[in-house]
Amino acid sequence: MKRAVSREPESTKELTALIRQACLVAKDAASNVKEFVAHSSKMAFLAVKDCEKELDRIERRVDDQISSAITEVTEAEARELLACLKFSTDLERIGDLAWTATKRLQGATHALQREDSRDLIQMAETLEEMLDHIHQGFVGHDVDAAGWVLQTDARINQTCHAVFQRHLQNTDRRGHEYSTNLLLVAQAFERAGDHAKNLAEEVFHLVEGRSLRHETKRRRPKE
């Protein structure tokens, strides 16, 4: 006698497919921000805008479908659907931040200085790599890929700190507007990295059913 095979509901398949797509769209956004910083490409500018719109559309679709989908599934599948919801939110924020950074750069009245261009390209490139690993982690339930993201987040933070140190020490009032705009762009990258880190933590929760964030709090020594 054959056993009945448990099949994943179509709604779950559709939502996980949307998140896989969203990971790639967010990665594409980071790649095009890098291209825009490096070459002021109009095509890259428009591509970041399109990515932001697509991530917004995916988040709305996930929100619309999640309530009915979650009533049809097992506990493990419910955890995957909740991961989809969290992924859609963080990826949408990454798209927003990439678009905000690109608009600020496009509206800047001064060309980027060489070291600033170098640092922003590095931050965008790191974000792109983090999102690639996030995609691997989600698709393959790969905690090693997610762990790489957690370790790499410090790279963006360090570069952002270097940009802040350089410009906060600048006493030239004529460059105040340039520095302020650049700091906001660097901060957008740093916040996007934080969202990527959230996604890595969510991969651990999806695969192992444990929250790294709560474990960190429990391990923190008392003051």
pLDDT tens digit string along 144-176?
A: 999 999 999 999 999 999 999 999 877 666 578
pLDDT tens digit string along 51-102?
A: 999 999 999 999 999 988 888 788 888 889 999 999 999 999 999 999 999 9
pLDDT at 9: 60
pLDDT at 151: 96
CATH number at residue 38: 1.20.58.220
The token pair at 25 is: 């769209």
Percent of the chain at pLDDT exceeding 70: 88
HSE-CB for 7 with a 13 A CA cutoff: 5
Residue 16 inside a domain? The answer is: yes
Residue 22 inside a domain? The answer is: yes
Residue 146 CA to residue 207 CA, distance in Å, equals: 11
Residue 4 falls in which region: left (phi positive, over 0), alpha (psi -120 to 50) or beta: beta
Tally of structural domains, the chain:
1
Range of the domain at 165: 10-219
Instruction: Map tokens 């890595």 to a residue.
Output: 200
**Taking the model in full, what pTM does it have?**
0.90
Residue 136 inside a domain? The answer is: yes
Residue 1 inside a domain? The answer is: no
